[in-house]
Amino acid sequence: MNLIDSVIVIIHDTGHINGGEAKVAISSAIGLARKGYRVIYFCAVEPIDPDLRKNRVEVVCTGQQEILKDPNRLRAAVQGFWNFKAASLLDKLLGNLPARRTIVHMHGWHKALSASLMPVILRRRVHLIVTLHGYFIACPNIGFYNYHTQKSCNLKPLSWQCLRTNCDSRKMSHKIWRVIRQIIQNRVGKIPQSMKNYITISKFSFDVLKPYLPKGARVFHNFNPIDVAQEPAVEVATNSDFVFVGRLTPEKGCLLFAEAAAKLGCPAVFVGDGELRDQVAGINPEAHVTGWQSHQSVQRWLSKARALVFSSLWYETLGMVVMEAAAKGVPAIVSDGCAARDLIVPNETGLLFRNGDIDDLAEQISALQDPKLAEDLGRRAYERYWANPKNLENHINDLVIFYNILLRGGPHNGDRPIESDDISSTLSR
C-alpha cells in the first residue's frame, strides 16, 4: 500500500497558528500537500490559516470556540468533557474515506475538540498516530506543574495525592473540572490505552510520559521543525543583550531571569508579553520588554543576542526557540529541568543551570559575558545545527516514513514497539 494513494487527516484544535503545537500541525499539513498527498485538516476554532486552502489542503472546521474563551461557561464545560459536534463531523468525514488507506494524525484536542474523537477513530478502524506535544494524555493539569509552588510535579496523575492538591493556575474548582475531564478521557475516550502509535519530540518528554503509554506502544521520534534560513552565524561576541523569548508567565521562569540579570546589571531583553510584564519591569527596571513580535522580529532580536536564556521552570516538551538560536549561531543558557536541555551539548553549544536557581543562572550569564566563550559556543551550536537541520523538509520526510510503516503494520495496533534506546539513537542523527 502506497502513501500517495492514501488520505492523511490532521487533527488540531485550531485552524490558525496560536502557538508551537498549531504551527507544527498546520505547517506539516501544508508540507505534505505540497508533496502531492491528499491532506484534510480537521479543527474546531476559526479563523482558518489561508495557506491551508492555498496549498490545496481540505479543511473541515466545527466552528466552535476554545473552551477557555467561550463566554458561555456551561457550554464550554460540556464541550471540554465531550464535544458531540466534533465527534459527529469526524464520524461523517471518516465514513466517506477508505479506512485501510486513511491515516489520522492527532496533534491537539484539549483546547476545543475533546476526547470524543477517539471512539470515532477506533470504530472507523483507520490508522492513528499521535504527536506528544505535551503531557495531557497523563496529567489533568496538562504540564506536570504546580502553579502554586511553581515547581514541577512528580505526583502520580489521579492518585489521592494528586486529587487533593490544588495545582491549577486558577482555583480548586477548575482543578476538579480538569480531573473529571481526565477521568472521562481515560475511561470513555480510551486515551491513552487505545493509542498505539506515537511521535515524541524530545527524549526528555518521552522519559516523562513512557510510564503512561500503553504496553507495546510504537514510538517514533521527530523534532518539531523550525523556519530559519541559513545565513552566516551571528557575531555574538559583538552583542551584549541576553534575550528571553516567550510568554511572561510564572512557569516560563521570566522572573528568575529578570532577577538574575538585575543582580549582574547585564542587558536583558524580553521578547514576548504576558501577565507578569509589570513584575518583570518591577524586578528589573532596566530590562526591555518588546511585547509580542512577529516571527521575523523574533529572529532579528536573536541576531542581536549574546545568548538566549531559556529559564523555564516546568518540563516543556522541546523548546523550539533554542533550535532557532542555534541555527543563527547564538548559544543558549538552559534550565536543566526542562526538555530544552536535550537541544544543547553542555559547555560545547550552550550552558545548563540548575532549575529555579537564580544564583546558578546568574553564574552562567556571567560566564557568557566573556566574548570568546560566547563566540566558541555559538559557533559550535551553529555547526551542529546545520549538520542536520531540523527544518520542515526533513520533518516531512520523516513523517512519510512513519506513515508508510503504519500502512504496512495494520489498522491501529502497534506491533513493532520502539523503546527509549531507539529514540535516543535518532537524536544524534
pLDDT for 151-166, tens place per residue?
999 999 999 999 999 9
Read off the pLDDT of each residue in 382-402 and give the average, rounded to a whole number.
Answer: 96
- Please give the backbone phi and psi of residue 21, each rounded to the nearest 5 degrees, phi first: -65, -50
The pLDDT-based confidence of 237 (bands split at 50, 70, 90) is: very high
Long-range Cβ pairs for the range 158-167 (8 Å, 24+):
158/182, 158/183, 158/186, 167/141
Topology of the domain comprising 236-387: Rossmann fold (3.40.50)
The answer to whether residue 413 scores a pLDDT higher than 90 is: no
Report the pLDDT value the prediction gives residue 284, as an integer from 0 to 100: 98
pLDDT in tens, 291-335: 999 999 999 999 999 999 999 999 999 999 999 999 999 999 999
State how far the Cα of 402 lies from the Cα of 220, in Å rounded to an integer.
7
pLDDT in tens, 9-22: 999 999 999 988 99
Read off the pLDDT of each residue in 17-29 and give the average, rounded to a whole number.
Answer: 94
The answer to whether residue 124 scores a pLDDT higher than 80 is: yes
Give me the torsion for CA of 8, 113, 110, 33, rounded to 10°.
Answer: 20
Long-range Cβ pairs for the range 169-177 (8 Å, 24+):
169/250, 175/140, 175/141, 177/77, 177/80
The answer to whether residue 401 scores a pLDDT higher than 70 is: yes
Provide the percentage of residues in the chain whose pLDDT is more than 90: 92
The answer to whether residue 417 scores a pLDDT higher than 70 is: no
Q: Name the residue with cell 517514533.
A: 220
State how far the Cα of 300 lies from the Cα of 6, in Å rounded to an integer.
41
**CATH tag, 3-137+191-225+392-427:** 3.40.50.2000
The pLDDT-based confidence of 419 (bands split at 50, 70, 90) is: very low
Helix H, strand E, coil C: the string for the chain is CCHHHCEEEEECCECCCCCHHHHHHHHHHHHHHHCCCEEEEEECECCCCHHHHHCCCEEEECCCCCCCCCCCHHHHHHHHHCCHHHHHHHHHHHHCCCHHHEEEEECCCCCCCCCCHHHHHHHHCCEEEEEECCCCCCCCCCCCEECCCCEECCCCCCCHHHHCCCCCCCCHHHHHHHHHHHHHHHHCCCCCCCCCEEEECCHHHHHHHHHHCCCCCEEEECCCCCCCCCCCCCCHHHCCEEEEECCCCHHHCHHHHHHHHHHHCCCEEEECCCCCHHHHHHHCCCCEECCCCCHHHHHHHHHCEEEEEECCCCCCCCCHHHHHHHHCCCCEEEECCCHHHHHCCECCCEEEECCCCHHHHHHHHHHCCCHHHHHHHHHHHHHHHHHCCCCHHHHHHHHHHHHHHHHHHCCCCCCCCCCHHHHHHHHCC
Q: What is the pTM of this model?
A: 0.92
- Give residues with Cβ within 8 angstroms of 190, minimum separation 6: 118, 119, 122
CB-based contact 349:331 (threshold 8 Å): yes
Q: Name the residue with cell 464535544.
A: 83
Q: Residues of CATH 3.40.50.2000 domain(s) within the chain?
A: 3-137+191-225+392-427, 236-387
Report the pLDDT value the prediction gives residue 347, as an integer from 0 to 100: 97
Cell (9 digits) for 108? 491537539
State how far the Cα of 158 lies from the Cα of 259, in Å rounded to an integer.
35
Read off the pLDDT of each residue in 246-264 and give the average, rounded to a whole number.
Answer: 97
Read off the pLDDT of each residue in 75-86 and give the average, rounded to a whole number.
Answer: 98
Report the pLDDT value the prediction gives residue 408, as an integer from 0 to 100: 87
pLDDT in tens, 87-104: 999 999 999 999 999 999
